Chain A
Amino acid sequence: MTEVSIVELGRGALHQLELWGDPAPTATRIAKALGHALPPAGRAEGDVLRLSPTSWLVSGDMATLAKALGDGGSLTPVGGGLVQIRLSGPGWRSLLMEGSLFDAESADFAADCVATVLIDHVTVTLRVESEASCLAYVPASLADDLLRFWQISAGGLPL
C-alpha cells in the first residue's frame, strides 16, 4: 500500500486579497512591500497563494500588506471558513487522484503550484509545499466529509 499521512491542521488566520481597477500599480506597491511579486496564475510564493484572476489567499502579517494595498483593493478575513489539511508521504499524489479529475501526478504540479479542484464533490484549493507534502484548503463545513473520504481512500490506493 502506498504511504500517505493525512493531518488536519484546523483553521488559520487567512485573508483574501482582492485588487480592483487597474491592478498594476497596486501590485507593484505590494511586491515592494512583500519582497516578491504577487504570484501568477496557478502559483504561490511565501505567504501568498493565487486563487483567481483577481484574488489571493494570504497568511502571516497583514499590516505591511494592508499599508501597501491602500485603496487599490481589499483584504478580508476568511480563515474561519477554511480548514487546512496536510497530505504528506510518498503517496500524497496518488491519494489526490482519488475522487478527482485533476492530474496531481503530473510533474508540472510541482512545489508552489496551486490548483483549485473538485475532489469527492468538494471544491478544494491545493498548494504543493514540496515533493513530500501538499496542503489542502477545504471549506470548513465539508472538511469532516473530505477527511473521511481521504482516510478510507488511502486504504485502497493502488501501488
Chain B
Amino acid sequence: MKQIPCPHCGNRAQAEFVYERSADSVVPLDAEPAVAIAALFSRANLRGTEEELWRHAHGCGMWLLIRRDRVSHHIEWVKPIGPEALP
C-alpha cells in the first residue's frame, strides 16, 4: 500500500484515496466532439510515467493530479486540483 502525500492532509495511506481517471481522459467543458471522443475512447495508455486524477475520498475529499510511474508505482509529484483555497 502506497503512501500518498495529500497537499491538504499530509502523508496518508493509499486506502484513503481513489484513483479516478488518467489526466488525458478529461473532457473539457464545451469540447468539440472530436476532442471529447478522442479523450474518452482512444487514449494512449502508455507504459511508464503518466499524470492521473486521484481523490482523497476518505480524507479531505480533494482532487489531486498525480504523476506516477505505472511500472514502479513511484510518485513523482502530487498537485492539488480545485478552487482557490486558504492554506
Contacts and interface: CB of A to CB of B under 8 A. Distances in A.
Classify A-B as touching or not with yes or no (CB < 8 A): yes
Contacts of A101: 1, 12-13, 15-16
A38 B86 contact: yes
Interface residues of A, number: 22
B84 A22 contact: yes
Best-buried of A19, A20, A41 by chain B (most CB within 10 Å): A41
Interface in B43-87: 57-62, 80, 82-87
A38 B86 CA distance: 9
| Interface size classification for chain B | 20 to 34
B14 to A, nearest CB: 9
Contact of A21 (B1, B80, B84): B84
Given A52-B8, A53-B60, A123-B58, A118 B16 contact: yes
A102 interface: yes
A23 B86 contact: yes
B12 A20 contact: no
Contacts of A59: none
B10 interface: yes
Given A42-B9, A101-B16, A23 B85 contact: yes
A27 B87 CA distance: 11
Given A41-B9, A54-B83, A54-B85, A118 B58 contact: yes
Interface string A115-127: 1111000010000
Pairs A-B, 4 closest by C-beta atoms:
A53-B85, A101-B13, A118-B58, A52-B60
Interface of A: 19-24, 27, 38, 40-42, 51-54, 101-102, 115-118, 123
6 contacts: A41-B9, A41-B87, A52-B60, A118-B13, A118-B59, A123-B57
